[in-house]
C-alpha cells in the first residue's frame, strides 16, 4: 500500500501507476483506456468471436445524439481499470458500483463531460446489447421485459481484432475531442 492512497495500484498499458480504488482524473490517459478496452471482451467472453468493449464504445458514440457522443465513447471507461463485470453480478459485489461511480466521476472531470451521464447513453447501451445479442451471441433464453420496445441496429456488427478496435476508438476520440487539449 502506498500510504497516501486507498488500496493498491495497477500498472497501465502506458506504464503508469493507477489506483482504481482512489482514482485521480489526472491519471486517466486515453491511450490506456483505448488499449485496455480493446482487450476486454464483451459479455464475459460469451460471444462467438472476440468483440471488444472498445468497439462497443465506439459504436455507442455513433448511435447517440451528437451532443452525447463523447459520453458514448467513454461510457465504459471505468472498465479499463475495473474490468467488464456482467450486469447481473455487479449488485452482488460489495462496493463495486461505488468504485465504478467514483471512477466515472473522474472520467467526467478528466474529459470535461457533464455529470451525470446522459440518459441517452443508457438507452444506446441497451440497444447495442440487444443488437450484439443478435449478431454475436449464440441463441439463448429471452432477456426479459427490459428489452421490449428497443430497436436494433440495421447493420450487423462485425467484430474487429483488438488492434483495429483500439485504432478505431482512438480515431473516434480524435474526431470528438479534436478541439480540446486533453
CA 31/CA 174 separation, integer angstroms? 11
Domains detected in the chain: 10-175 (1.10.3210.10)
pTM across the whole model: 0.93
Q: Looking at residue 1, what is its pLDDT?
A: 43
CA 77/CA 84 separation, integer angstroms? 10
- Residue of 172, 179, 163, 181 whose CA lies nearest to 70: 172
Q: Looking at residue 2, what is its pLDDT?
A: 47
Q: Looking at residue 104, what is its pLDDT?
A: 98
Please, which contacts does 136-142 make with residues 24 or more away whose CB atoms are closer than 8 Å?
136/42, 136/43, 136/47, 136/48, 136/49, 136/51, 137/43, 137/46, 137/47, 137/48, 138/46, 138/48
- Residue of 104, 110, 47, 45 whose CA lies nearest to 77: 104
Grid cell locating 65: 445524439
Q: Looking at residue 157, what is its pLDDT?
A: 98
119: CB partners within 8 A, 6+ apart = none
Cβ-contact 68, 120 below 8 angstroms: yes
Per-residue pLDDT of the chain (182 residues; tens, 9 = 90+): 445 687 899 999 999 999 999 999 999 999 999 999 999 999 999 999 999 999 999 999 999 999 999 999 999 999 999 987 888 888 898 888 899 999 999 999 999 999 999 999 999 999 999 999 999 999 999 888 888 889 999 999 999 999 999 999 999 999 999 977 54
116 preceded by a cis bond (ω within 30 of 0): yes
Amino acid at each position: 500500500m502506498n500510504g497516501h492512497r486507498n488500496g493498491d495500484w495497477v500498472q497501465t498499458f502506458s506504464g503508469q501507476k493507477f489506483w482504481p480504488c482512489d482514482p485521480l482524473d489526472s491519471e486517466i490517459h486515453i491511450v490506456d483506456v483505448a488499449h485496455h478496452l480493446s482487450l476486454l471482451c464483451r459479455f464475459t467472453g460469451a460471444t462467438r468471436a472476440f468483440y471488444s468493449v472498445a468497439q462497443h464504445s465506439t459504436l455507442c458514440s455513433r448511435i447517440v445524439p451528437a451532443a452525447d457522443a463523447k459520453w458514448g465513447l467513454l461510457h465504459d471507461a471505468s472498465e479499463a481499470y475495473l474490468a467488464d463485470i456482467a450486469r447481473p453480478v455487479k449488485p452482488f459485489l460489495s462496493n463495486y458500483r461505488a468504485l465504478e461511480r467514483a471512477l466515472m466521476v473522474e472520467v467526467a472531470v478528466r474529459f470535461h463531460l457533464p455529470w451525470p451521464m446522459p440518459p441517452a447513453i443508457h438507452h444506446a447501451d441497451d440497444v447495442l446489447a440487444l443488437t450484439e445479442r443478435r449478431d454475436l451471441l449464440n441463441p439463448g433464453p429471452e432477456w426479459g421485459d427490459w428489452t421490449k420496445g428497443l430497436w436494433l441496429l440495421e447493420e450487423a456488427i462485425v467484430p474487429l481484432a483488438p488492434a483495429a478496435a483500439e485504432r478505431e476508438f482512438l480515431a473516434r476520440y480524435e474526431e470528438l475531442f479534436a478541439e480540446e487539449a486533453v
